[in-house]
Amino acid sequence: MTAAIMERGLVIFDCDGVLVDSEPISIRCTAAALNGFGYPIDEDGVFDRFLGASTASMVKTVEESLGRTLAPEALDDLRREILAAFDVELTAIPGVSEAVNALDRPFCVASSSIPERIRHSLRLTGLLPLFEPAIFSATMVVHGKPAPDLFLLAAKRLGAAPSECVVIEDSIHGAAAGQAAGMVVLGFTGGSHIARDPDRRERHAWRLKRAGAALVFDSMADLPELVRQVTR
């Protein structure tokens, strides 16, 4: 099995904004919570500063700015609020199930979210059976994205050489992490938090390329062929 993976490579998916259209929900809840903590920020600010970053990384930035620690129970409340909103609003990215099933090589998830949230999101959208048990969380490494640690862990656990891996990311932090890991990065701009605003999509596509994305795409229908193109 390991030899087969190394020969065919590995596709590593981020979760939020790539597999599930969760970012508008998370951004809305996070902006409200951070303002409640005394850290003034709007939804665009959360998008620009924290999209794709681990919770630990975001909390570190906020605590350094405020000069105090955030109450653990407040962060627990934010997690519960996001998950409750997911139960009502969360959907899969259009076409993602078909795209994943059409891949000609192994695949996994490597997300900055905690394991419970990743599995909850995939379960709600019917994607969990596609990926279980190949699910990796930033809680499994010391340094989350934009450090390469999480992607390197996924490759190591699944027996793939980093140079044979393709990362699918919607965030600047994730694209930078994939490049730092020595992997090919495909930037995705089809999530509603990006695609609903043409100017934002164009701007974000440019930022993804600057962060390390070899190509940027906005439709999951194009993914299988793009993976084949960048791994020939």
Q: Cα–Cα distances in Å, from 144 out to 32, 91, 149?
A: 24, 25, 7
Q: Cα–Cα distances in Å, from 182 out to 14, 123, 175, 176?
A: 16, 31, 11, 10
Cβ atoms of 217 and 205 closer than 8 Å: no
Burial category of 185 from C-beta neighbours within 10 Å (exposed 0-12, middle 13-18, buried 19 and up): buried
Q: What are the beta bridge partners of residue 55?
A: none
Q: How far from the centroid of its chain's Cα atoms is residue 47's Cα?
A: 13
Q: Is-catalytic flag, 44?
A: no
How many CB atoms neighbour CB 229 within 10 A? 13
The one catalytic residue in 14, 16, 21, 149 is 14
Q: Could you tell me what percentage of the chain is helix, strand and coil, using 3-state DSSP and rounding each to the nearest 5?
A: 55, 10, 30
Catalytic residues: 14
